[in-house]
């Protein structure tokens, strides 16, 4: 397992570009995430947020630039080193992504059984402890189909923290939740990060919930970091793209339309067919 040096920054992204063939997704992205922080990466859908998470997790390699975890370049790790590093990360996928044919208990126990040599008696204690932390110890025997959306997300959060990861990544953790469930998940993200001594990255476009729980925010637009700061700075910002996003304004520098040819020209071409 790679040794993680005790530096202030756990995650460092330096001048990262990424493209699918000729389609540029990320353009010179640089950011630092300090140990113990909960950091949000925000922006419109399609701006490259989830791609950035995949680069940090080693699922993708940068076209240019470097991603470092604890000072180690993720793209330079061999297969064994990368998987050892991933065992120290947790990932909460959008909508939870629970194993549908496993109970809540077995979903949380899965990583412990797969990646450790712990006795089943100890796994039992740990699973119930993780489910207790998200308020669902009493639901341990239920199947995912028997859960509400909020309950499923909480079970997924228990599974994400099963191995006490040093880095936890959340891909749209508030998507599709009612206001109460959203508040519960937000509180759990903050509480579990602090209790575990972890570092968390939240990819989201839920402004109100994110700004209420994170330590720092990076705003992305069209594959680049356009601004950053603590929540109070962003709430008070007079930058047009920040104001547009925070207040949900339709008019502003962040476009709604995907780049296309002139609309009138397309209509004329259609009429001539």
**What CATH number is associated with residue 233?**
3.40.50.300
In a shared domain, residues 184 and 227 = yes
Inside any domain, residue 254? yes
Q: What is the pLDDT along the chain (273 residues), one digit of tens a residue?
A: 444 444 589 999 999 999 988 888 899 999 999 999 999 998 777 778 889 999 998 888 999 999 999 888 998 999 999 888 888 888 888 766 888 899 999 999 998 998 888 999 999 999 999 899 888 898 899 999 998 888 888 899 899 888 888 999 998 888 777 788 888 888 888 988 998 899 999 998 777 788 888 999 998 888 889 889 998 888 877 777 777 777 666 666 555 666 777 777 777 766 655
In a shared domain, residues 265 and 202 = yes
Query: Which structural domain range is residue 30 located in?
Result: 9-88+166-271
In a shared domain, residues 115 and 16 = no
DSSP string, 204-270: E--HHHHHTT-SEEEEEETTEEEEEE-HHHHHT---HHHHHHHHT-SSSSS-SSPP-S-HHHHHHHH
In a shared domain, residues 55 and 171 = yes
Residue 151: predicted pLDDT:
87
In a shared domain, residues 171 and 74 = yes
Structure tokens at 226: 């356009």
Inside any domain, residue 160? yes
Our count of domains for the chain comes to 2
Residue 5: predicted pLDDT:
45
The residue among 131, 164, 197 that closes a domain is 164
Inside any domain, residue 114? yes
In a shared domain, residues 181 and 52 = yes
User: In whole angstroms, what is the distance from residue 71 CA to residue 60 CA?
Assistant: 18
In a shared domain, residues 177 and 257 = yes
Inside any domain, residue 2? no
In a shared domain, residues 207 and 176 = yes
Q: Hey, which residues does 168 pair with through a beta bridge? A: 90, 200
In a shared domain, residues 190 and 253 = yes
Inside any domain, residue 1? no
Q: Hunting for tokens 């909508």 — which residue is that? A: 95
In a shared domain, residues 228 and 111 = no
State pTM to two decimals.
0.82
Residue 256: predicted pLDDT:
60
The residue among 139, 164, 189 that closes a domain is 164
In a shared domain, residues 258 and 148 = no
The residue among 164, 196, 219 that closes a domain is 164
User: In whole angstroms, what is the distance from residue 241 CA to residue 244 CA?
Assistant: 5
Show contacts of 134-143: CB within 8 Å, 24+ apart: 134/158, 134/188, 135/184, 136/104, 139/104, 140/103, 140/104, 140/105, 141/103, 141/104, 141/105, 142/103, 142/104, 143/100, 143/101, 143/102, 143/103, 143/104
Inside any domain, residue 211? yes
In a shared domain, residues 52 and 128 = no
DSSP string, 93-141: -TT----TTS-HHHHHHHHHHHH----HHHHHHHHHHHHHHTT-GGGTT
Helices (H), 164-206: 179-196
């Amino acid at each position: 397992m790679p040794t993680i040096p005790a530096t202030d920054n756990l995650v460092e992204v330096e001048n990262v570009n990424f493209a699918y063939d000729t389609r540029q997704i990320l353009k010179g992205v640089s950011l630092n995430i300090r140990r113990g922080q909960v950091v949000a990466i925000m922006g419109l859908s399609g701006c490259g947020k989830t791609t950035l998470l995949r680069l940090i997790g080693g699922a993708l390699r940068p076209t240019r630039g470097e991603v470092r975890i604890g000072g180690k370049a993720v793209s330079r790790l061999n297969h064994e080193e990368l998987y050892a590093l991933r065992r120290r990360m947790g990932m909460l996928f959008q909508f939870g992504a629970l194993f549908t044919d496993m109970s809540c208990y077995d979903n949380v126990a899965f990583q412990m059984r797969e990646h450790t040599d712990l006795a089943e008696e100890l796994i039992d204690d740990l699973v119930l402890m993780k489910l207790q932390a998200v308020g669902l110890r009493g639901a341990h025997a239920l199947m995912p189909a028997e859960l509400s959306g909020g309950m499923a997300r909480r079970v997924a959060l228990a599974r994400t923290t099963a191995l006490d990861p040093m880095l936890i990544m959340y891909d749209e953790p508030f998507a599709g939740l009612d206001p109460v469930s959203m508040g519960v998940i937000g509180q759990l993200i903050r509480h579990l990060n602090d209790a575990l001594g972890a570092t968390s990255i939240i990819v989201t476009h839920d402004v109100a919930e994110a700004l209420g729980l994170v330590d720092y925010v990076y705003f992305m637009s069209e594959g680049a970091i356009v601004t950053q700061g603590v929540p109070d700075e962003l709430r008070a910002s007079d930058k047009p793209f920040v104001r547009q996003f925070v207040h949900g304004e339709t008019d502003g520098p962040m476009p709604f339309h995907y780049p296309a040819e002139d609309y009138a020209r397309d209509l004329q071409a259609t009429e001539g067919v």
